[in-house]
Amino acid sequence: MTSGDNTKLLVLSGGVGGAKLVQGLADVLAPEQLTIIANTGDDFEHLGFYISPDIDTILYTLSGRSNVKQGWGHMNETWSFMQALKELGGESWFQLGDKDLATHVIRRQLLAEGATLSEATADISRRFGIKINIIPMSDCPIRTIIESAEREYTFQEYFVKHQCQPAVRKIKYHGLEQAKPSPGFTAALQDKMLKAIIITPSNPYLSIDPILAIPAIKNTLQQNKIPVIAVSPIVAGRALKGPTAKIMSELGVEVSAVSIAKHYTGLVDHFVIDDEDAGLAEAIRELGISVHSTNTVMLNMDDKRNLAADVLDIVYNYCH
Binding site for ligand FO1 (CB under 6 A): 14-15, 42, 51, 53-54, 56, 72-73, 94-96, 100, 156, 159-160
Q: How far is the CB of 236 from ligand FO1 (least distance, A)?
A: 22
**Is 141 or 183 the residue whose CB approaches ligand FO1 more closely?**
141
Burial (0-12, 13-18, 19+ Cβ within 10 Å), 147: middle
Instruction: Give the nearest distance from C-beta 71 to ligand FO1 in angstroms.
Output: 7
304: left (phi over 0), alpha (psi -120 to 50) or beta: alpha
DSSP 55-115: HHHHHHHHTT-B-TTTTSSBTT---HHHHHHHHTT---SS---HHHHHHHHHHHHHHHTT-
> CA-to-CA distance for 202 and 189, rounded, in angstroms?
20
- Between residues 118 and 293, which has the closer beta carbon with respect to ligand FO1? 118
| Contact predicate 42/69, CB 8 Å | no
Our CB check for ligand FO1 shows the closer of 19 and 289 to be 19
Point out which residues pair with 1 in neighbouring strands: none
Give 95 or 116: the residue with its C-beta nearer to ligand FO1.
95
Using only C-alpha atoms, what is the Rg of the chain? 19
CB of 147 to ligand FO1, least distance (A): 18
Q: How far does CA 315 lie from the centroid of its chain?
A: 20
Q: How far is the CB of 113 from ligand FO1 (least distance, A)?
A: 21
Tell me how far, at minimum, the Cβ of 289 lies from ligand FO1, in Å: 26
Between 110 and 280, name the residue whose CB sits nearer to ligand FO1. 110
Of 41 and 227, nearer to ligand FO1 (C-beta) is 41
Separation between Cα atoms, residue 40 and residue 7, nearest integer Å:
26
Question: Which residue of this chain has its Cβ atom nearest to ligand FO1 in the complex?
Answer: 15
Report in angstroms how near the CB of residue 61 gets to ligand FO1 at its nearest: 12
**Least separation in angstroms between CB 148 and ligand FO1:** 18
Work out whether the CA dihedral 108, 164, 71, 69 comes out positive or negative.
positive
Distance in Å, CB of 157 to ligand FO1, minimum:
10
From 196, 236, 189, 238, select the one nearest 211 (Cα to Cα). 189
Return contacts of 246-254, CB within 8 angstroms, 24+ apart.
246/164, 246/168, 247/168, 247/171, 247/203, 247/205, 247/206, 250/167, 250/168, 250/169, 251/168, 251/169, 251/205
Q: Which is nearer to ligand FO1, 166 or 227 (CB)?
A: 166
The smaller minimum CB distance to ligand FO1, of residues 22 and 96, is found at 96
